[in-house]
Structure 1
Amino acid sequence: LLSPIKIIGLGNIVRGDDAIGHLVLQELQRNDQFPLSLVNGGIAGLNLLYELEGMDAVILIDAVSSQSEAGTIHRLTIPQDWGKIRQWTWSSSVTSTHAFGLGEALTLAETLGILPPQTVIYGIELGTVTIGNSMSPGVEESIQTVATQIIAEAGPFSHA
């Protein structure tokens, strides 16, 4: 049975805080309350469009730089938060060689008419992005919190 909601973690696993999307997915894999459709999106780009197409609801997780304290959790929704989504620097955009990141992918999905009606983005504020596995303390602490919030948010969909 396919889950009516897809959860997509973005980021680069070998770049410190930028691995946040992957780490939240790992945490979600431990959830045994109900099946979740988890997708490792890597660095956002055109591939993201394939994951969005045909979905009613999607939750995206990415590291973001918006001048807040490291580990700050931002929950954004479309269309309410388009301004922030397009202005902020998403880590998947920075690490993408074509500078085609989350904001651009979602804008294109909307233009093509394939943006899921319910699109939620969890942006976790970056601290340091260095090569390796070390993470900022604030970012590390936010992993469990975000996973818990996503499980609460995805729950109703899993029983639809």
Structure 2
Amino acid sequence: MTTLILGFGNPDRGDDALGPIATAQLGGAHANPLTIDLAGVTTLICLDAAAPNGTPGRIHEFDASAAQLPAALEAVSSHGFGLAAALELARALGELPPRVLVFAVEGVCFDHGAPLSPAVAAALPELQRRVRAVPGA
């Protein structure tokens, strides 16, 4: 079983840096959704920030193996080509790994040059704990 942990986001835009920061701490890679090679991957774990939906720092978990991510998650992407669109492209091309888990943390500040907000920074240890609990991670 091959597990790939990918972090999505812009490291220079406040809470959008969550994906790259968390992934680096977990030994994964910062990703451009258009350049991901999924050959041989059996479990894909994606880490990304999401726009606030009531509680900054709240961690949402989605199993995208058999179903699309919620439409609300796609609508809040700060990327030109978001994570949900990348996963659906891989699904349409028959390249989506058998198991795809997405962890999205609600952010509050996506300003250029801003650091992680306190709420998102405080969520990092729990996010890492959840990812490490995934078999094979």
User: What interval of TM-score do these two structures reach, taking the shorter chain for normalisation?
Assistant: 0.7 to 0.9
Within 2, Cα distance between the matches of 1:5 and 1:83? 20
Instruction: Call closer, same or farther: CA 1:115–1:18 in 2, change over 3 Å.
Output: same
Give the TM-score of the pair, scaled to structure 2.
0.87
Kindly report which structure 2 residues correspond to 1:32-71, keeping only aligned pairs within 5 A, or say none. Answer: 38-41=28-31, 44-48=32-36, 50=37, 52-65=38-51, 67-71=53-57
More helix by share: 1
Tell me the CA shift for residue 54 of structure 1.
Answer: 2.8
Q: C-alpha offsets along residues 77-115 of structure 1, whole Å, 9 cap, x if unaligned?
A: 02465251x332476x4232xxx2111111110011110
- The equivalent of 2:125 in structure 1 is 144
Residue 134, structure 1, aligned to residue 115, structure 2: yes
Which residue of the partner structure matches residue 109 of structure 1? 90
Q: Distance in 1 between matches of 2:8 and 2:111?
A: 17
**Mapped pair 1:88 → 2:67:** no
Structure 2 equivalent of residue 157 of structure 1: 136
1:78 to 37, 57, 64: 64
Percent identity, aligned pairs only, is 29
3-state SS in 2 of match to 1:122: strand
Matched, 1:11 2:9: yes
The answer (yes or no) to whether the contact 1:66–1:88 under 8 Å persists in 2 is no
- Rg comparison, structure with higher value: 1
How far is 1:116 from its partner? 0.7
Q: Report the equivalent of 1:20.
A: 18
Distance 1:15 1:26, change over 3 A: same
Instruction: Give the gaps of 5 or more residues in structure 2.
Output: none
Off by >3 Å, runs of 4+ in structure 1: none
Q: TM-score under structure 1 normalisation? A: 0.76
Q: How many residues were matched structurally?
A: 137
Task: Give yes or no for contact 2:8–2:46 (8 Å, CA) kept in 1.
Answer: yes
The residue matched to 1:47 in structure 2 has which SS? coil
RMSD: 2.1
Q: Deviations over 1:15-68 (max 9, x none)?
A: 110000111123324xxxxxxxx1211xx43113x2x23311110000112623
Q: Could you tell me which residue of structure 2 aligns to residue 34 of structure 1?
A: none
Which amino acid in 2 is paired with 1:58? L
